[in-house]
Amino acid sequence: MNEVVAERLGSGVAALSAIGVRDLDVCFGSDQPVVALDKITFDVADGEFLAVVGPSGCGKSTLLKVLAGLLAPTAGHVSLRGEVVSRPRRDIGVVFQSPVLFPWRSVMENALLPADVIGLTGPAITSRTQALLNLVGLAGFEKRYPRELSGGMQQRVGIVRALVHNPSVLLMDEPFGALDALTREIMNRELQRIWLEERKTVLFITHSIAEAVYLADRVLVMTPRPGRVALEVRVDFPRPRPLSVVNTKEFGAHVARIRDVLDASGGIE
């Protein structure tokens, strides 16, 4: 296993962790098993924004599925505030790369879907949903349908849907990967603003090194398959972060360091 180079938040991380991952292995197949994840161990502190970056096929999405309770690990475990995650949970929200909105449901109805599934009804949940739609800039679009929205607007609905039942943890699997570069920058800035308002614990998966450094308190870098932790970097830029921070020497140094590790591990062709 590759040596883990870590810049930890400090000895208190484990004690305060919202998410704990311990010796996580995931293998697919039995005759000639493919090892997707190999001995992954890390913590995410309560209210922390952790980004995970790595090459295609390194197991990032597999990691998210295990954290969400959608996939059982081969060995090891993940926990949420000390309780092992073995199934989907109400206190975990998930945002996927595609918002997967139902075309026959309005924006408000799509946003309310998780509440409908778990039986949350009444003025309080409607009020929260409206407040979240306002927060993401969709006030006035409540009765619109997905076909009437841009890609960025659809993804905003997906974020609201993941937050509507007020989970403590938000898992995001390359949510802006399908957007054009300009819209992606706007959504990065908007996600930061939403996170500052909601203060959820976030695990954010991305292929973009710059996106990871801009958004995260820490960046976890993974090797090509089998996915292992190659590097953890703490990002100390004050918040809120303007988009202009990407032009600073310090930002460039973080990006270069992560790129060097990916290049050394074969993650950049």
pLDDT for 233-250, tens place per residue?
A: 999 999 999 999 999 999
CB of 200 within 8 A of CB of 91? no
- Residue 22 CB neighbours (<10 A): 16
- E strands along the chain, which residues? 5-6, 17-28, 34-45, 49-53, 75-80, 83-84, 92-95, 169-173, 201-206, 218-222, 229-234
Strands 92-95 and 169-173: parallel
Whole-number pLDDT of residue 266: 65
Whether 14 shows a pLDDT value over 80: the answer reads no
Is 80 exceeded by the pLDDT of residue 41?
Answer: yes
Q: What are phi and psi of 104, to 5 degrees?
A: -90, 0
Res. 9: pLDDT tops 70: no
pLDDT surpasses 80 at 1: no
Give the percent of the chain with pLDDT over 70: 93
pLDDT band at 31 (very low <50, low <70, confident <90, very high): confident
pLDDT of residue 6: 37
3-class secondary-structure state, position 230: strand
| pLDDT of res. 30 | 76
Q: Taking the CA of residue 176 as centre, how many other CA atoms within 13 Å lie in the half-sphere pointing to its CB?
A: 23
Give the number of other CB atoms < 10 A from CB of residue 249.
6
Annotated domain spans of the chain: 103-166
pLDDT (tens digit per residue) in 116-130: 888 888 899 999 999
- pLDDT average, residue stretch 170-186: 90
Phi, psi of 190 (to 5 degrees): -70, -40
Residue 2: CB atoms within 10 A of its CB come to 13
